[in-house]
Chain A
C-alpha cells in the first residue's frame, strides 16, 4: 500500500479547493467568451463541474482508512458515554479487573512453571535418565548405572551426575563456621548445562576421578558474599569441613539450579565401584540427530548389559532404562494442579462476564430510545453493534489494564502463601514475572471478554422496534421478553458457576480439616530440628559420629528447659531412605527379598524426643553400641505387613542383602515394636519402617551416609524451642568441635510445609469461590432490582387493588428464589461432574461429599435470599398513586 497518500491531508485538501476554483474560473472564462452573461457563465460552469464538495470528500475519503476513523469516532463516543455513567463504569471495570486479574496471576505462574523453556542453552536436548518399570519411571542412579549410561556416546553428547546437596558442607577456618549448600557433580555437568564461567574454569576429568584432589567451583552468590567478587580468588583455597579446597572457577549469576547451590565439588566416582546405592540423579544432552526410538533402542541394550554384569535381579522384571525431557521432569506433577487452578479462575472470569453482560443489558434497555433514534436517522444494525462492541471493548481493555495490576500484585500475594514446592518459581516466586506471554494472554483475555459480554447486549439492542419505542414517552419499557429471558439465564449461569467454585472450595476445606485432624504419631509441638553436616574426612567411620552424638546429647540435655534430644539420619516428613530386607530363615518365594521398608539410623533417645510410643519389647539403650549384639526396632505397620501371623520379636532380619559392600552386616534381632508415624505427611498411610542404632552402622555405610545426609538433631522442650536455639546451637558446637547447624525449623513448621500444597489449594479456591459468590449475589440483586423497577406500574396496580405489602414482597422473593434454585440445580450437576478433577487433591473426603453438596447450596441460597431481600423490600414501598401517574 502506498502510504504517501495519508500524509498532509489538510494541506492537500486546500490545494484541491484552490484547484477546483481555478477550474471553475477557466470554465467561466470559456462560457463568457461564448457570449453568456456573467451570471449564466458562472451557473453553467458549476453545472458542468458537479458538486465541488462531493469531489473533495471523495478525494479525502480515498486518502483515509474509513474503518479506523469510524472506530476512533466510536471510541470517543463510548468514552463520553461511559464518563456520563461513572457508577456503572467503575463497577463494570472493577468486576472485569478482578476476573482478568486472577487469570493473569494464575497464568503468570503457569507461564513460568510450564511454558517457559529451561534457561539452559538448547534445552530441548536435555533429558533426565530414568529407571523404568511396570509401575512407572523413577529418577535416581548408582555408579554402575552412571558408568553404563556414560558410555552411550552414540546417543548422548554429555552425561552428568549431580545430587541435591543434601548433606551440606561447613565452611570452616574463619570466625564464623557457616553451613553452605554444596552440590556434588560429575565433570561434564557444567558443559552439559552450558553454565557460564565468570572466571577460572570448571572441573577437569582428572579432578573428577578418585584421588583427583580437593577442588571446588563457587557460585556467583558465594563469590560475592564471601569473597567480595574478587577475581583473584581462583587459585586460592577455601576451608571446607576442615580441609583446604582449591577454588578453580566461579559460575555466573544467571545459572539456575533446582535447589539453591553455593558451591560445587566433584563426585570423583570410582567407575569400577560395585556400590548399588542410588543417591544421585543423572541427566544427559542428546546428540542433535538422534530420535527417541533410537535412544530407547540403545538404552534397551544398555539395560541388558547392566543385567549381564550385575545379575538378573539388579533391575526389576520388565524394567529397564529410559529418558524423559528435563523440563517434564522438573515440572513433575505440578502441571495438573495448575491447570485445575486455571479452570477455577476461568469460572471466576465467566461469572464476571455474565455480571457485566447483565449490567450492559440493563444499560442498553435504558438507552433504547437513543438506539431507536439513531436507527431512524439511518444508522445500520452493523453500525450500532460496532458502536456497542467498541464500548464493551473499551470497558474490557480498561479492566484488563487494571487486571494486569491486580494480577501482578495478586501473584505476589498468591506466592507469599507457601504454595508447597512448585518448581521453577524461584525463591518466594521471584522468577514469576510479567513477560510478553503474560501481556499477550491478558490482552487476548480482555478482547475475548469484551466480545463475550458485549455481543449479546449489542445484538439485542440493535434490533429495536422503532415505532413502539419512539412512541413511548420515556425509556421505561423493558428490553422485551427475549433479553429478559437472557438476563435470567445469565443469572442462573452465574449462580451455577459460583456454586461449582464454592463446592470445590468446601471439598478442599474439608480435606484440610481432615489432614489437620490426623494424628501424626509423633510430637510436633515444642519440637525443633536442625541439621549438622558431618561430610568431612573426620566422619568416615562410625565411632567419631557416635562420639559427637553422645557428647551433643549430654550437653543439649543440660540446657534448661530441654526435655528430650534425639538424632537421626532421616527427618520425619522430610524424605528418608529405604532398604530391602530378608527375614532370616523365611522362604522368599519368587521375590529376591522378603520386602522393603523405610530405613532410619537413630540415637537411643530418638523415640523419647518425638514421643513415639513403644508398643512391645524394649527401646534402644546407650548400651546398644558397636560392640553389642546387632538389634533393630520396627514399627507397627511393618509388623502388620510382614508378620500377619507370628511374632516379629522372635525373628532376626538381614538388612540390605545384595545392596553392596557398604551395607554388609550381620542379621539383627528385632527388639521392639513402636507406633506408626506418618512420615510421608498426614495424607500418606504410615509405611513400614525399621530403625537401627546409629552406633551400630557399618563404617562404610557411615562414610556414604555422611556424604549425602546430615545428622538431624531433634530437641523437645518445655517452652517454645525457638527461644532455646542459641544455647542449643552453642552446646552442639562445643560438643562437635565447632560444627555449625543449619535448617533450624520446628516440627510444626515442617508439618505445615507438608500440608502447604493442600493449604494453598484450599485458600485459593476459597478466595475464588467467595469472589464468585459475591459476584453472583450482585448479579441476582441487579436482575431483581431491575425487574422491580420495570414492574413499578404493575406493582402499583396490584397495590391499588388491595394486595398486601407482604404479598408483593413474597412475589418478588419467589421469582428470585426460582432463579436461585434453578442455578443451584445447574451448579450441583456441574459440580458433580467437575469435582472428579479434584479427586487427586482430596483426603478423607469423597468427590461427592454429602456435607459439601448440601451445606454449600444452602449457604448460597441464603446469600441469594439476602441479595433478593433488598429489591423485594423496595417492591413493598411502591406508591400506587405515583406508579399509576407514570402512565
Chain B
C-alpha cells in the first residue's frame, strides 16, 4: 500500500533550486556553504532558502549524475565537500534555463508587463 507522501516545503521550487545550484556551479567547483551564500547574494537575498534544504537537492543532483563531488580543503582550511558540474549537468542547465525563460515570458505576457 502506498502511503500518501506529505508534500514538503520547497517541493514547488525544487526545479528552480536545482537550476540555481547548477547555475552557481558554472563558475567552478564549490562546497555547500559557498553555494548557499552564492544563491543568497546573487538573488539579492530575495530568495530566502533554509540553508539545510540545499543538501537534499545537491544529493539528488549527484544521484542523477548532473554534478560530481569530491572531499577537499576549503579556503578556511577546513575539510569540505566540493561539487562540480558534469557534462550532463551543463546540458541540463541549458535546457532548464530555456524552459524557465519561456515560462517567465509567458507569465509576463499574461500579466501584461513589458518583457525586456
Report the Cα distance A16→B63, complex, angstroms: 13
A70 x B3 contact (CB < 8 A): yes
Q: B residues within 8 A CB of A879?
A: none
Extra 16 A-B pairs, beta carbons < 8 Å, given A55-B56, A58-B56: A19-B80, A22-B31, A22-B81, A23-B31, A25-B78, A26-B31, A27-B51, A49-B51, A55-B52, A59-B55, A62-B60, A66-B3, A67-B2, A67-B3, A382-B3, A383-B3
B59 x A59 contact (CB < 8 A): yes
Q: How far is the CB of B21 from chain A (nearest CB, A)?
A: 14
Report the Cα distance A66→B1, complex, angstroms: 10
B78 x A26 contact (CB < 8 A): yes
B80 x A26 contact (CB < 8 A): yes
Q: How far is the CB of A654 from chain B (nearest CB, A)?
A: 81
Q: How far is the CB of B74 from chain A (nearest CB, A)?
A: 7
Q: A residues within 8 A CB of B78?
A: 22, 25-26, 29
Q: A residues within 8 A CB of B32?
A: 19, 22-23
Main secondary structure of the interface of B (DSSP, over half): mixed
Interface residues of B in 1-42 (CB under 8 A from A): 1-3, 5, 8, 31-33, 36
B102: Cβ under 8 A from any A Cβ: no
B53: Cβ under 8 A from any A Cβ: yes
Query: Mind listing 28 A-B residue pairs with CB under 8 Å?
Result: A2-B63, A2-B64, A4-B63, A15-B81, A18-B81, A19-B32, A19-B80, A20-B55, A22-B79, A22-B81, A26-B33, A29-B78, A48-B50, A49-B50, A50-B53, A54-B52, A55-B53, A58-B8, A59-B55, A62-B56, A66-B2, A66-B3, A67-B1, A67-B2, A70-B1, A70-B3, A382-B1, A386-B1
Q: How many residues of B contact A (CB 8 A)?
A: 25
Report the Cα distance A19→B55, complex, angstroms: 9
Report the Cα distance A731→B78, complex, angstroms: 110
A590: Cβ under 8 A from any B Cβ: no
Report the Cα distance A51→B78, complex, angstroms: 22
B114: Cβ under 8 A from any A Cβ: no
Which positions in B face A, CB cutoff 8 Å?
1-3, 5, 8, 31-33, 36, 50-53, 55-56, 59-60, 63-64, 74, 76, 78-81
B76 x A29 contact (CB < 8 A): yes
Q: How many residues of A contact B (CB 8 A)?
A: 35
Q: How far is the CB of B43 from chain A (nearest CB, A)?
A: 15
Contact A16 B59, CB 8 Å, known A2-B64, A66-B3: yes
Q: B residues within 8 A CB of A48?
A: 50-51
Q: How far is the CB of B48 from chain A (nearest CB, A)?
A: 10
Report the Cα distance A26→B44, complex, angstroms: 21
A363: Cβ under 8 A from any B Cβ: no
B5 x A23 contact (CB < 8 A): no
B80 x A22 contact (CB < 8 A): yes
Report the Cα distance A4→B2, complex, angstroms: 22
Which residue from chain B places its CB closest to the CB of A20 in the assembled complex? B55
Q: How far is the CB of B70 from chain A (nearest CB, A)?
A: 12
Q: Mark A6-35, 1 if CB is under 8 A from B, else 0.
A: 000000100110111011011101000000
Main secondary structure of the interface of A (DSSP, over half): helix
Which residue from chain B places its CB closest to the CB of A389 in the assembled complex? B1
Q: How far is the CB of A818 from chain B (nearest CB, A)?
A: 39
Q: A residues within 8 A CB of B59?
A: 12, 16, 59, 62
Report the Cα distance A66→B55, complex, angstroms: 20
Q: B residues within 8 A CB of A27?
A: 33, 51
Q: A residues within 8 A CB of B50?
A: 48-50
Which residue from chain B places its CB closest to the CB of A52 in the assembled complex? B52
Which residue from chain B places its CB closest to the CB of A45 in the assembled complex? B51
A5: Cβ under 8 A from any B Cβ: yes
Q: How far is the CB of A772 from chain B (nearest CB, A)?
A: 33
When A and B form their complex, which 4 residue pairs have the shortest distance between CB atoms, in order from nearest?
A50-B52, A26-B33, A50-B50, A5-B63
Q: A residues within 8 A CB of B63?
A: 2, 4-5, 63
Interface residues of A in 31-69 (CB under 8 A from B): 48-52, 54-55, 58-59, 62-63, 66-67
Which residue from chain B places its CB closest to the CB of A382 in the assembled complex? B1
Report the Cα distance A2→B59, complex, angstroms: 13
Report the Cα distance A48→B53, complex, angstroms: 11
Which residue from chain A places its CB closest to the CB of B40 in the assembled complex? A48
Q: How far is the CB of B10 from chain A (nearest CB, A)?
A: 10
Report the Cα distance A48→B38, complex, angstroms: 15
Report the Cα distance A2→B63, complex, angstroms: 8
Report the Cα distance A15→B5, complex, angstroms: 26
Residue in A2, A48, A66 with the greatest tally of chain B CB atoms within 10 Å: A48
Report the Cα distance A260→B9, complex, angstroms: 75
Interface residues of A in 378-401 (CB under 8 A from B): 382-383, 385-386, 389
Q: How far is the CB of B11 from chain A (nearest CB, A)?
A: 11
Q: A residues within 8 A CB of B74?
A: 22, 26
Q: A residues within 8 A CB of B80?
A: 19, 22, 26
Q: B residues within 8 A CB of A383?
A: 3
Q: How far is the CB of B38 from chain A (nearest CB, A)?
A: 13
Q: A residues within 8 A CB of B33?
A: 22-23, 26-27
Q: B residues within 8 A CB of A382?
A: 1, 3
Residue in A55, A67, A389 with the greatest tally of chain B CB atoms within 10 Å: A55
B52 x A49 contact (CB < 8 A): yes
